[in-house]
């Protein structure tokens, strides 16, 4: 854990208003360079940077200050929506300095508080850019970039919250928009990147924000295919409606990008249908197998040199693999997840392979690697990390102190195997 402390010294002793709020957001993004911002009633202001959370004000904000703030940046119905048990998301932006603009994805929810069960409001702000980064800036592999050239089918980007799924999607859509003449539709909750900001656009792009531009996801689905799209960004597949929409669009000649919260590529499809009624699970899983062309899983780990490092697992479903998956599901004699995990490992595209590669480049510490892979590490894997630690020291990529500490960590973990 980092020993660095962050304090916003300009927090007023009383009366946190809209101007103070904007000054705080500028400090968070321009000075502290945060990943997330927390504003909660009866709690200090907070931030998260490189997976570590800090309180950054010397006093707590009152319920009245936070409720007044959300009314100003969202709408007057905010409190009634939250008290009615309806959390919501929205986008927020404002200008500062000379023609600069800050943009955020905001999640608002109600909860308990030290002053009462109905006086808890939490706002979580995630800074976003107007224009998404390029595929080169994210150093995406050609395999991932080539998913943009699929004529149809679904590409799933999975990972935990805050793992950069939206950023990867933004980069891939930017690549399409700048290099192909397509019609791109999106449904987002909320919009994070403004694709109209992308220079040299060849594609047409139309973004829709849920609850702002359209009342429901159902309405978007009803009209999406009438708009003559080539590429559709659906957002998260979380229920029967969104899964059916992805299947329909991908099987009717469209390239579909969507996201999911799964632990890896091998269990992604089964996890997507887990929440559906049991009578629907197998049929939906078979349809997903026939619709899905690729699954990309990403996590962001703390980097050895600071910041965060993306580690990625990849699965590409060829026609041959699709037939093998169908056979496994229809016969029911083998685990689909286990089969896919072995397939990914054989092709050297597993999370383990990527983490080892980043370690060999000196981008990750050994404790970060072992903690991330602890459930699947073998003695041979520990031998790998020990041998690579020697190489990193010999080539001057790490210090003697790091080498000693890493060797000690490896041996301690080995004793627990």
Q: What is the DSSP annotation of 80-118? A: HHHHTT--EEEEEEEEETTTEEEEEEEEEEEE--TT-TT
Q: How far is CA 234 from CA 166, 191, 363, 405, in A?
A: 11, 12, 33, 46
Shared domain for 159 and 252, answered yes or no, is yes
The answer as to whether 3 is a domain residue is: no
Shared domain for 188 and 304, answered yes or no, is yes
Shared domain for 149 and 226, answered yes or no, is yes
Shared domain for 398 and 262, answered yes or no, is no
Q: How far apart are CA 351 and CA 358, in angstroms?
A: 11
The answer as to whether 134 is a domain residue is: no
Shared domain for 80 and 116, answered yes or no, is yes
- CATH classification of the domain holding 163: 3.40.50.300
What per-residue confidence (pLDDT) applies to 243?
A: 94
The answer to whether the CB of 281 falls within 8 A of the CB of 274 is: yes
pLDDT tens sequence across 91-142 = 899 998 888 889 999 999 988 877 665 678 999 999 988 899 999 999 999 9
What per-residue confidence (pLDDT) applies to 118?
A: 65
pLDDT tens sequence across 239-280 = 999 999 999 999 999 999 999 999 999 999 999 999 889 999
Residues of the chain whose pLDDT is less than 50?
1
The answer as to whether 47 is a domain residue is: yes
CB-CB neighbours of 132 under 10 Å: 26
Which of 96, 128, 160 represents a domain boundary (last residue)? 128
Task: Tell me the chain's radius of gyration from C-alpha atoms.
Answer: 23
What per-residue confidence (pLDDT) applies to 340?
A: 98
Structural domain count of the chain: 3
What per-residue confidence (pLDDT) applies to 1?
A: 40
What per-residue confidence (pLDDT) applies to 90?
A: 87
**Token reading at 352:** 């383990």
pLDDT tens sequence across 149-177 = 999 999 999 999 889 999 999 999 999 99
Q: How far apart are CA 210 and CA 194, in angstroms?
A: 15
Q: How far apart are CA 46 and CA 28, in angstroms?
A: 10
**Token reading at 203:** 């594609």
Shared domain for 156 and 235, answered yes or no, is yes
Shared domain for 348 and 370, answered yes or no, is no
Shared domain for 228 and 162, answered yes or no, is yes
Shared domain for 223 and 278, answered yes or no, is yes
The H-or-E segment that residue 47 falls in is: strand 44-49
Burial profile 67-85: b = 16 or more Cβ within 10 angstroms, e = fewer: bebbeebbeeebbebbeee
Which of 93, 128, 163 represents a domain boundary (last residue)? 128
Shared domain for 184 and 294, answered yes or no, is yes
Listed in sequence order, the residues at least 6 apart from 400 whose beta carbon sits closer than 8 Å to its beta carbon are 393
The answer as to whether 181 is a domain residue is: yes
Shared domain for 93 and 150, answered yes or no, is no
The answer as to whether 245 is a domain residue is: yes
Which of 58, 93, 128 represents a domain boundary (last residue)? 128
Q: Where in 279-349 does DSSP place strands (E)? A: 292-302, 308-316
What per-residue confidence (pLDDT) applies to 268?
A: 97
The answer to whether the CB of 268 falls within 8 A of the CB of 297 is: yes
Shared domain for 164 and 79, answered yes or no, is no
What per-residue confidence (pLDDT) applies to 211?
A: 81
The answer as to whether 12 is a domain residue is: no
CB-CB neighbours of 217 under 10 Å: 20
The answer as to whether 51 is a domain residue is: yes
Question: Which residues form the domain of 217?
Answer: 142-357
The H-or-E segment that residue 53 falls in is: strand 52-60
What per-residue confidence (pLDDT) applies to 5?
A: 86
Residue 123 CA to its chain's centroid (Å): 18
The answer as to whether 204 is a domain residue is: yes
What per-residue confidence (pLDDT) applies to 189?
A: 84
What per-residue confidence (pLDDT) applies to 164?
A: 93
- CATH classification of the domain holding 60: 3.30.450.90
Determine if residue 302 is left, alpha or beta; phi over 0 gives left, psi from -120 to 50 gives alpha, anything else beta. Answer: beta
């Amino acid at each position: 854990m980092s020993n660095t402390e962050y304090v916003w010294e300009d927090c007023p002793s009383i009366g946190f208003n809209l101007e103070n709020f904007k000054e705080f957001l500028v400090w968070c993004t321009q000075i502290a360079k945060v990943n997330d911002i927390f504003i909660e009633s009866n709690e200090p202001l907070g931030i998260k940077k490189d997976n570590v959370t800090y309180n950054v004000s010397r006093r707590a904000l009152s319920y009245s200050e936070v409720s007044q703030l959300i009314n100003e940046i969202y709408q007057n119905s905010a409190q009634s929506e939250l008290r009615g048990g309806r959390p919501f998301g929205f986008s927020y932006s404002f200008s500062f300095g000379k023609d600069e603009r800050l943009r955020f994805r905001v999640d608002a929810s109600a909860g308990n508080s030290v002053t009462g069960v109905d006086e808890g409001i939490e706002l979580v702000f995630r800074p976003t850019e107007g224009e998404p980064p390029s595929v080169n800036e994210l150093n995406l592999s050609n395999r991932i970039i080539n998913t943009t050239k699929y004529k149809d089918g679904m590409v799933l980007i999975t990972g935990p919250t805050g793992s950069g799924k939206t950023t990867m999607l933004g980069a891939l859509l930017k690549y399409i928009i700048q290099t192909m003449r397509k019609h791109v539709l999106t449904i987002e909750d909320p919009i994070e990147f403004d694709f109209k900001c992308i220079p040299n656009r060849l594609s047409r792009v139309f973004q829709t924000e849920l609850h702002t531009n359209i009342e429901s996801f159902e309405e978007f689905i009803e009209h999406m295919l009438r708009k003559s799209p080539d590429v559709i960004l659906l957002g998260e597949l979380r229920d029967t409606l969104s899964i059916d929409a992805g299947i329909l669009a991908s099987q009717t000649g469209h390239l579909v990008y969507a996201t999911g919260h799964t632990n890896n590529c091998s269990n992604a499809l089964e996890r997507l249908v887990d929440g559906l009624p049991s009578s629907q699970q197998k049929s939906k899983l078979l349809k997903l197998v026939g619709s899905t062309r690729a699954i990309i899983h990403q996590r962001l780990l703390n980097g050895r040199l600071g910041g965060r490092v993306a580690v990625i697992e990849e699965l590409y479903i060829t026609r041959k693999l699709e037939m093998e998956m169908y056979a496994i599901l229809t016969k029911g004699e083998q685990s689909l997840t286990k089969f896919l995990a072995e397939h990914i490992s054989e092709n050297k595209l597993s999370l383990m392979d990527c983490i080892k590669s980043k370690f060999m480049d000196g981008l990750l510490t050994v404790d970060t690697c072992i903690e991330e892979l602890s459930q699947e590490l073998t003695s041979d894997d520990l031998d790998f990390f020990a041998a690579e630690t020697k190489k990193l020291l010999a080539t001057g990529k790490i210090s003697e102190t790091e080498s000693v500490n890493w060797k000690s960590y490896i041996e301690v973990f080995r004793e627990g195997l």
